[in-house]
Structure 1
């Protein structure tokens, strides 16, 4: 059965989920922007830019015939909040990418050259971050997959690369999205698509910590989800 809902249904779902959305930052596994004194403080800050304009620039459309999944890595909470809003709005399942060795607040202090993220940034050999799991139950049943991550030094946070590299996206429509304080999505989605080597990857989208369910509904509508 085609998994497609009307504009009115999207807006109703958006209104219901907006009240429940909490985008508070934390030091656990959630999203961040590496663009202030630390990744954690960057993700905690909100910006006025709206993602609605980005949604209107979509040049591709997706019509789902199967299930939808939101896969996300989050370092401080922002990407987690956006991922949950997407899942609530379009009726998707969630899968969190969790490093085997989670990042601490000190690890995320990008201004410290000795911090974990700085060392990983400076040495690409350290970016192959081990994950607790890369296996998604029922992976073959999903035909649309949202891939969410914070932007680190202009690219997708590398734990997401670890997930993408070992999964087969054949036959799937893939929608990258990032969270950041000010940086755009850049080529992060394209680089992940090259790493995957399979799947139909759409243009990516940037969300801020002020993203609302209405913004998500506008994106979903533009993709014909």
Structure 2
């Protein structure tokens, strides 16, 4: 009878040991999984904290900061008044477009830069009425000290050796806005060639008057050019001054 109980008792003991071992292994695995979960959560929190600190320091996320730095480091727009490397320029004022057409043809023939003077206060048709003694142009031309403002006088003449200056003839002279221009620039060492357009009047003393007001430069006599003058005729005119 004792021999029968001994194997039974041994079997129960083995079962107990196996159960204990399984429980220990399960507990170990659970503990390991929990530790990994906690570690992962801590790592995520650390990354979020670092990113928050990074945003706080720069004021912007890194990508936005990079875009901002790229924009800030871009060069400014180039100065549009810088010389193109040419040695000749045509500067003109045109109230109705007639002088503009001639100026553009001169620039084409001479391969010159071109610059249009724009009045700060544009001239209306009423302003240009020479039959009205109270029109703006009549008042300006009767006042030798009148100097109408120029809206865009940003041209730099330093690099040019030849300057063509064009304008319509008003009351036998150059418009007062041309006086505003020549008095504001230095023509020392430059050849200045005036030209004009008109309904019939010649250039008269308009060129020499501007030369006196400029006070510098080698001013040639210049000439009146027809509104529809061809480029070949312009070339002939230029050749006649050489």
Q: What is the match of residue 131 of structure 1? A: 150
Residue of 95, 102, 109 corresponding to 2:115: 95
CA distance in 1, matches of 2:185, 2:196: 19
How many aligned positions are there? 158
CA distance in 2, matches of 1:123, 1:176: 22
- Are 2:178 and 1:160 aligned? yes
Bigger RCO of structures 1 and 2 (CA < 8 A, at least 6 apart): 1
- Are 2:226 and 1:171 aligned? no
CA distance in 2, matches of 1:154, 1:202: 18
Q: CA deviation at 1:217?
A: 1.0
CA distance in 1, matches of 2:182, 2:224: 19
Residue of 157, 167, 187 corresponding to 2:205: 187
- CA contact under 8 A between 1:134 and 1:166: conserved in structure 2? no
Unpaired stretches in structure 1, ≥5 consecutive residues: 1-65
- CA contact under 8 A between 2:92 and 2:103: conserved in structure 1? yes
Unpaired stretches in structure 2, ≥5 consecutive residues: 1-85
Residue of 81, 86, 102 corresponding to 2:106: 86
Q: CA deviation at 1:113?
A: 1.4
- CA contact under 8 A between 2:161 and 2:190: conserved in structure 1? yes
- 1:30-88, Cα deviation, whole Å (9 max, x unpaired): xxxxxxxxxxxxxxxxxxxxxxxxxxxxxxxxxxxx61000000010110000000001
Q: What is the match of residue 106 of structure 1? A: 126
- CA contact under 8 A between 1:178 and 1:206: conserved in structure 2? yes
Superposed, which structure 2 residues align to 1:185-224 within 5 Å?
A: 185-224=203-242
Q: What is the match of residue 116 of structure 1? A: 136
The Cα RMSD (Å) is: 1.6
- Are 2:101 and 1:72 aligned? no
- CA contact under 8 A between 1:79 and 1:179: conserved in structure 2? yes
CA distance in 1, matches of 2:142, 2:159: 38
- 1:175-210, Cα deviation, whole Å (9 max, x unpaired): 000101110100110010000110000111101212
Name the TM-score, length of structure 2 as normaliser: 0.62
Larger radius of gyration: 2
Q: CA deviation at 1:104?
A: 0.9
CA distance in 2, matches of 1:222, 1:74: 25
Q: CA deviation at 1:223?
A: 3.6
Q: CA deviation at 1:122?
A: 2.8
CA distance in 2, matches of 1:217, 1:121: 32
Name the TM-score, length of structure 1 as normaliser: 0.67
CA distance in 1, matches of 2:92, 2:144: 21
The verdict on how the C-alpha distance between 1:203 and 1:130 changes in structure 2, with shifts beyond 3 A counting, is same
